[in-house]
């Protein structure tokens, strides 16, 4: 067999095992009976090990060496070799014994975090977190970096991003957002949302989500909607991209927003062409780019005035209590801003500040500027400065997120970048699509989706985030689109003058 064919076959083998793994994970969180968990972990462990074995195998290394020198490859093949080769080198950089040691420590740390959060006792988690920071720093050394060890970590989630660049993004963003939020809260007029109070049966909420997903052109023949505790999207195969959501009995908006958010992720993966399947390129360009799709559908579409012009009558049909409410009132009610303690409950205006805070702290931990023991105080300080609210306990402060407990440093910025990218993409879509707002107001969301397919989805992981953004928008990543979007929208919604 030709090396190229053997290489592709090798990737297909990995892809098939990963597909089985995705199903095992999805099922674990949706259907698995309680007592089946122990055996499931073993099965997942086994398949994970097999995938890892294949992804660091000497055979793959030889294929990559051979193919990197060849000039007869297509653009897709070259991208595959680049992306797979990079992952290969990163995997190979980590000594297996070190990784196993880390995995054991991470599992213990997660358990300790759970207990610490339960008891709101940072002391229980502190030694584990210190250990996770140490591991992360060693990972960074193994991976290698130019300026900051943090760069070696963020590379996993946002290829090409650095902490230096993040700082240049964050500073002006913070300088705009912090005073703007203050003004909103002090001078703005909070929209009325009394008509959204009530209790909403799960079946009703489910129907509302299904209507929104159908309007988004989510393909139910290549996916499904289930419920779970923490919503997520799973790509089991190229035509099997499943959404989960959760419905809060007393909050009709939360489940809808969650479904549209996950729907945005799912549209991305449903839009990756069959040509890229099992090539190492059949996923989003980065965590940040993926988040840009979910946030675009959740916020820039799902919380927009045109969308509610279209969706208000539908919502009124499904939810009787909303049937008399105007589109404008609904639009305003879904856009209430409230600085709060918990990231996952934050609105689109305050959300990025939660991320900035985390970035500052984790970057400090990894570079050694911050000691673990100072985290709770630093957290409270930053919350006060950024959002004007301070947690009473660490459960609602430094202990709220799971990420650090398993050593995930460098992940948080993706959430913020997703917000920024989404605004820049949406602005580009507005340029390219005539009367996009009017189309959305008529429920013709397919034109936006076609644009995303054409400009973003179809490339999968072929381009790094920056290159993709330049190709799509003709510009380098630029946070001013997001600032403009937020300031314009909320000046209006909150009647600022």
Q: Does 224 participate in binding a copy of itself (rule CB under 8 A)?
A: yes
Question: Between residues 270 and 422, which has the closer beta carbon with respect to a copy of itself?
Answer: 270
Site for a copy of itself in 271-310 (CB under 8 A): 277
Question: Between residues 237 and 397, which has the closer beta carbon with respect to a copy of itself?
Answer: 237
Only one of the segments 36-44, 259-267, 379-387, 437-445 lies at the binding site for a copy of itself (rule: CB under 8 A); that segment is 36-44
Q: Using alpha carbons, select from 325, 312, 328 the residue that is nearest to residue 256.
A: 312
Report which secondary-structure segment, H or E, holds 173: helix 163-187
d(CA 245, CA 206): 9
Number of residues that bind a copy of itself (CB under 8 A): 34
Question: Between residues 280 and 465, which has the closer beta carbon with respect to a copy of itself?
Answer: 280
Contacting residue, 5, 42, 328, 392, with a copy of itself by CB under 8 A: 42
Q: Environment class of residue 46 by beta-carbon count within 10 Å: exposed (0-12), middle (13-18) or buried (19+)?
A: exposed
Site for a copy of itself in 452-491 (CB under 8 A): none
d(CA 162, CA 149): 10
Count CA atoms within 13 Å of residue 93 on its CB side. Answer: 15
Would you say 339 and 183 are in contact if contact means Cβ atoms under 8 Å apart? no
Q: DSSP secondary structure string, 321-372?
A: GGTTS-HHHHHHHTT-----S-GGG--TTTHHHHHHHHHHHHHHHHHTSS-G
> Mask of contacts with a copy of itself, 53-92, x by CB under 8 A?
----------------------------------------
Q: Does 240 participate in binding a copy of itself (rule CB under 8 A)?
A: yes
Question: Between residues 178 and 214, which has the closer beta carbon with respect to a copy of itself?
Answer: 214
Question: Between residues 22 and 66, which has the closer beta carbon with respect to a copy of itself?
Answer: 22
Q: Does 98 participate in binding a copy of itself (rule CB under 8 A)?
A: no
Q: Does 17 participate in binding a copy of itself (rule CB under 8 A)?
A: yes
Contacting residue, 85, 231, 237, 413, with a copy of itself by CB under 8 A: 237
The CA-atom distances, in angstroms, between 143 and each of 56, 406, 412 are 15, 18, 19
Active site residues: 262
Q: Does 33 participate in binding a copy of itself (rule CB under 8 A)?
A: yes
Beta bridge partners of 244: 226
Q: What are phi and psi of 243, to 5 degrees?
A: -105, 145
Question: Between residues 25 and 343, which has the closer beta carbon with respect to a copy of itself?
Answer: 25
Question: What is the closest distance, in whole angstroms, from the C-beta atom of residue 16 to a copy of itself in the complex?
Answer: 4
Contacting residue, 47, 94, 389, 496, with a copy of itself by CB under 8 A: 47
Q: Does 201 participate in binding a copy of itself (rule CB under 8 A)?
A: no
Contacting residue, 5, 36, 98, 192, with a copy of itself by CB under 8 A: 36
Question: Between residues 27 and 478, which has the closer beta carbon with respect to a copy of itself?
Answer: 27
Contacting residue, 3, 6, 32, 190, with a copy of itself by CB under 8 A: 32
Contacting residue, 149, 191, 231, 238, with a copy of itself by CB under 8 A: 238
Only one of the segments 108-116, 119-127, 220-228, 423-431 lies at the binding site for a copy of itself (rule: CB under 8 A); that segment is 220-228
Would you say 196 and 312 are in contact if contact means Cβ atoms under 8 Å apart? no
Question: Between residues 39 and 104, which has the closer beta carbon with respect to a copy of itself?
Answer: 39
d(CA 178, CA 384): 11
Q: Does 29 participate in binding a copy of itself (rule CB under 8 A)?
A: no
Only one of the segments 72-80, 173-181, 202-210, 233-241 lies at the binding site for a copy of itself (rule: CB under 8 A); that segment is 233-241
Q: Environment class of residue 338 by beta-carbon count within 10 Å: exposed (0-12), middle (13-18) or buried (19+)?
A: middle
> For the packed helices 351-367 and 413-432, what is the interaxial angle rounded to 10 degrees?
130
d(CA 30, CA 42): 18
Question: Between residues 39 and 344, which has the closer beta carbon with respect to a copy of itself?
Answer: 39
Find the Cα–Cα–Cα–Cα dihedral 8, 10, 13, 18, rounded to 10°: -90
Q: Does 19 participate in binding a copy of itself (rule CB under 8 A)?
A: yes
Share of the chain residues as helix, strand and coil, in percent rounded to the nearest 5: 70, 5, 30
Q: Does 204 participate in binding a copy of itself (rule CB under 8 A)?
A: no
The CA-atom distances, in angstroms, between 9 and each of 6, 175, 318, 460 are 5, 51, 48, 19
d(CA 422, CA 264): 11
Question: What is the closest distance, in whole angstroms, from the C-beta atom of residue 232 to a copy of itself in the complex?
Answer: 16
Only one of the segments 185-193, 236-244, 425-433, 477-485 lies at the binding site for a copy of itself (rule: CB under 8 A); that segment is 236-244
Question: What is the closest distance, in whole angstroms, from the C-beta atom of residue 225 to a copy of itself in the complex?
Answer: 11
d(CA 217, CA 211): 10
Residue owning tokens 């592709």 = 8
Q: Does 220 participate in binding a copy of itself (rule CB under 8 A)?
A: yes
Q: Does 46 participate in binding a copy of itself (rule CB under 8 A)?
A: yes
Question: Between residues 18 and 158, which has the closer beta carbon with respect to a copy of itself?
Answer: 18
Q: Does 13 participate in binding a copy of itself (rule CB under 8 A)?
A: yes
d(CA 225, CA 215): 14
Binding site residues, a copy of itself, CB under 8 A: 13, 16-17, 19-20, 23-24, 27, 31-36, 38-40, 42-43, 46-47, 219-224, 236-240, 242, 277
């Amino acid at each position: 067999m030709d090396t190229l064919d053997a290489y592709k076959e090798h990737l297909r083998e990995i892809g098939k095992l990963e597909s089985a793994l995705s199903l095992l994970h999805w099922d674990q969180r949706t259907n698995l009976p309680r007592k089946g968990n122990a055996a499931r972990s073993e099965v997942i462990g086994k398949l994970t090990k097999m995938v890892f074995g294949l992804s660091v195998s000497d055979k793959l290394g030889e294929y990559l060496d051979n193919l990197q020198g060849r000039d007869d490859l297509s653009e897709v093949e070259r991208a595959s070799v680049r992306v797979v080769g990079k992952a290969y080198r990163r995997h190979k950089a980590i000594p297996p014994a070190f990784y196993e040691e880390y995995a054991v420590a991470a599992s213990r740390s997660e358990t300790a975090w759970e207990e610490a959060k339960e008891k709101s006792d940072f002391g229980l988690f502190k030694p584990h977190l210190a250990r996770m920071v140490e591991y992360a720093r060693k990972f960074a050394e193994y991976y290698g970096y130019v300026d900051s060890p943090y760069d070696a970590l963020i590379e996993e989630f946002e290829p090409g991003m650095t902490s230096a660049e993040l700082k240049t993004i964050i500073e002006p963003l913070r300088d705009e957002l912090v005073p703007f939020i203050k003004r909103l809260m002090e001078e703005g007029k909070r929209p009325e949302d009394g008509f959204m109070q009530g209790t909403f049966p799960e079946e009703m909420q489910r129907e509302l989500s299904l209507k929104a997903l159908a309007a988004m052109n989510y393909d139910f023949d290549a996916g499904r909607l289930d419920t779970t505790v923490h919503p997520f999207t799973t790509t089991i195969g190229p035509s099997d991209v499943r959404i989960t959501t959760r419905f809060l009995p007393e909050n009709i908006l939360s489940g809808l927003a969650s479904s549209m958010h996950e729907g945005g992720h799912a549209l991305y993966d449903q839009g990756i062409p069959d040509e890229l399947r099992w090539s190492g390129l059949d996923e989003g360009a980065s965590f940040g780019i993926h988040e840009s799709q979910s946030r675009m559908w959740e916020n820039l579409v799902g919380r927009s005035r045109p969308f509610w012009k279209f969706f208000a009558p539908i919502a009124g049909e499904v939810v009787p209590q909303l049937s008399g409410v105007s589109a404008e009132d609904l639009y305003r009610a879904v856009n209430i801003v409230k600085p709060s303690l918990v990231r996952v409950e934050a609105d689109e205006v305050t959300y990025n500040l939660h991320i900035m805070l985390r970035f500052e702290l984790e970057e400090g931990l990894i570079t050694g500027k911050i000691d673990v023991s100072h985290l709770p105080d630093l957290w409270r300080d930053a919350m006060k400065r950024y959002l004007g609210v301070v947690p009473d306990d660490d459960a609602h402060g430094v202990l709220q997120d799971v990420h650090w407990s398993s050593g995930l440093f460098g992940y948080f910025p993706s959430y913020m970048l997703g917000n920024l990218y989404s605004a820049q993409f949406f602005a580009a879509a507005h340029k390219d699509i005539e009367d996009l707002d009017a189309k959305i107001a008529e429920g013709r969301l397919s034109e936006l989706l076609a644009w995303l397919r054409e400009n973003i989805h179809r490339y999968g992981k072929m381009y790094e985030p920056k290159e993709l953004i330049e190709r799509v928008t003709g510009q380098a990543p630029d946070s001013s689109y997001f600032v403009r979007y937020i300031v314009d929208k909320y000046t209006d919604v909150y009647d600022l003058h």
